[in-house]
Amino acid sequence: MTRFTLKRYGKVALEFLIYFAITFVVFFVVTLLLGKSVAGTENTSSATLFKIEIDEVLDGDTVAYHKAVGKILIRTRIRLYGIDAPESTQPFGKESAIHLSNLVQNKTCYLQIIDIDQYGRELGILYVDAQDINDQMVLSGYAYAYPFTRPVSNNLKFHEQFAKANKLGVWSSNKALQLPWEYRKEKNKRVK
């Protein structure tokens, strides 16, 4: 019986061991990242990720894709959980949608569904290459950490402070902008 030794197999064995170690570490890190909830604690809901292809970016915090239900494809809207982006008619609304589009269009996306909102939209976290897109929208200044989400994510609050301190996205404006949830509330009052 032949024994495996570094001396016998030399450089090839060492390269294989290094490759195996790196692969294991990357797998472990990705598993940890995808297994966490938005709040940064272990997720008690289903941490199942669904591979999806984004059909359309509707605004800076909502996208659409087609979900197979039996033999039927149903267009489904996803509201990005824990964030709120400017409405399309607000300053930075179009820029926010363009930024989200650049992050997700023509890329392999994974969705973790957190809940369904009162409008029937899936509330979820989008991932591209193990990168949390919800976090990236806030970090780049094109969305706010939504304060009415429970629990409020410490990561999102920290990323919002970073974007504000570095005057990124909505924070680059010299004038105070109306927050999206206040804008919608005021708009709904005008309609009634």
- The residues annotated with a catalytic role in the active site are 79, 87, 121
Task: Give the residues across from 77 on adjacent strands.
Answer: 64
Phi, psi of 87 (to 5 degrees): -65, 160
**C-alpha closest to that of 95 among 169, 177, 181:** 169
Distance, CA of 153 to CA of 18 (rounded, Å): 36
Taking alpha carbons only, the member of 132, 131, 133, 113 closest to residue 123 is 113
- Residue pointed to by tokens 């970016």: 57
- DSSP 8-state secondary structure symbol assigned to residue 141: T
Q: Which of 157, 173, 161 is nearest to 83 (CA)?
A: 157
The CA distances from residue 149 to 92, 115, 165, in Å, are: 22, 11, 23
